[in-house]
Structure 1
Amino acid sequence: MKLLSVNIGRPRPNPWKGLRSTGIDKRPVDGPVAVTAPGPKGTGAVGLAGDRVYDVKHHGGVDQAVYAYAREDLDGWQAELGRPLAGGAFGENLTTLGLDVNGALIGERWRIGSTTVLEVSCARIPCATFQGWLEREGWIKQFTQAARPGAYLRVIEPGEICAGDPVEIVHRPAHDVTVQLVFRATTREPDLLRRLLAADALPQEIKDLVRKRTTD
């Protein structure tokens, strides 16, 4: 298990959400990148030095510090869409190899390189920016039906990472709530919502959403 690339965003206009800019245009970078906890949502800060988000209401902050997507899943989409997808094409910071990103447990911890430890927090939810970026009508529905969302991570131990670094799973919690399960429950399969509460490491806003939807 390793990082194939570390990807940093280049600001570009965002006509799809009516925002000044978007950071979805991620490109692989050479050399080490510093990783730190970005603080609360609302500032635009994320975990990787040199990167940021511009939709500060919905992205960034502690629970969405870093976004990972598996090369294996990109390859599957590449075949389905009939177009090349380089590392970073889905707006991910980390393109991984040999790691079951969607099967990762909420609260699972990954050591990357020698110092950095990240914790799986939640699934990525597709938005209008993602659909516009790929220039594919109906992409949100297609991506949602596939249920291969990739994982957001929070920073537990800061450090530096770079392409080629090994990834080691150093902790797996004692529940069965995966990234994919969270995605399915919060999008198309609300009957699964109650199962999510077994994962203490879920972001508080998702826990609140689950409780609201299962008690109304």
Structure 2
Amino acid sequence: MPELLAVCRVFALLPDAGTVGVTAIDKRPVAGRVKVRPYGLYADVQADRKDHGGLDQAVYAYSQEDAEAWGAELGYEVTPGLFGENLRTRGLEVSRAVIGERWHVGTALLEVTQPRTPCQTFARRLGSPPQWVRRFADANRTGAYLRVLENGDLGAGDAIEVVHRPAHGVTVADWFGAWNRLDGAPDAADAAKALLVADAGDELRLSDELRERAERALQR
């Protein structure tokens, strides 16, 4: 059974060279149970609320397996929270989750909404490895944002149960690869059509950002 290795929330706001001037990417594991509400974990924050957070990006999950792959490439351990994630998982292919997939974690119900798009704040957090944003994108191990369908609480050691997986089959990695035209990715128009049809048929509810991009993908 997949499990939750760590629950992470902001440790401190850090100065940042971006337009906001500060970043809340410094997430670190916390002990005990943590409440989850529509806008994310209790006591967590986002400094850049224009591009992060909100109902469709309330929680960010990243897998231990992907973290270990990056650790081997970077030459140091990618500890829980280092990538700014709230949930570090094990035994679950987070980047290969189907968009709209639902997870029961602790007493909360979460739904996969979209991939993470890497930014320069992320690169600066890691000390600006060469071409980090491009490397992270090309690897297509983005992790996944989730919305909160049912409030609850969760903690390290909780099982993660996938309780619903939409039939459209488009994964987080499929969409990220298609939108960014990565080698081997599905055709963006095909992926977009599948997602929009599923959304129209109430199989899932697309985030505003993903719906807008899917509509654009049909036109380009």
Give the TM-score, by structure 2 length.
0.89
Distance 1:124 1:193, change over 3 A: farther
**2:215 matches 1:211:** yes
**Cα drift, residue 197 of structure 1:** 3.3
For 2:104, what is the secondary structure of its paired residue?
strand
Unaligned 5+ segments in structure 2 are 200-204
Match of 1:21 in 2: 22
| Matched AA of 1:89 | L
Residue deviations 1:119-164, cap 9 Å, x none? 0000000001001101113100110110000000000011000000
**Cα drift, residue 187 of structure 1:** 2.1
Q: 1:16 touches 1:128 (CA, 8 Å); kept in 2? A: no
Residue deviations 1:59-106, cap 9 Å, x none? 110110000000011001001110111111110000000011011101
Superposition pairs of residues 167-206 of structure 1, within 5 angstroms: 167-189=160-182, 191-199=187-195, 200=199, 201-206=205-210
**Cα drift, residue 214 of structure 1:** 2.4
| Matched AA of 2:155 | C
Percent same amino acid at aligned positions? 46
**Cα drift, residue 182 of structure 1:** 1.5
**Cα drift, residue 56 of structure 1:** 1.1
Distance 1:197 1:63, change over 3 A: farther
Unaligned 5+ segments in structure 1 are 39-46
**Cα drift, residue 192 of structure 1:** 2.0
Indicate which of 70, 83, 96 corresponds to 2:89: 96
Distance 1:193 1:143, change over 3 A: farther
For 1:188, what is the secondary structure of its paired residue?
coil
Match of 2:147 in 1: 154
Give the TM-score, by structure 1 length.
0.91
**Cα drift, residue 175 of structure 1:** 1.1
Alpha-carbon distance in structure 2 between the residues aligned to 1:209 and 1:123: 12
Q: RMSD between aligned alpha carbons?
A: 1.5
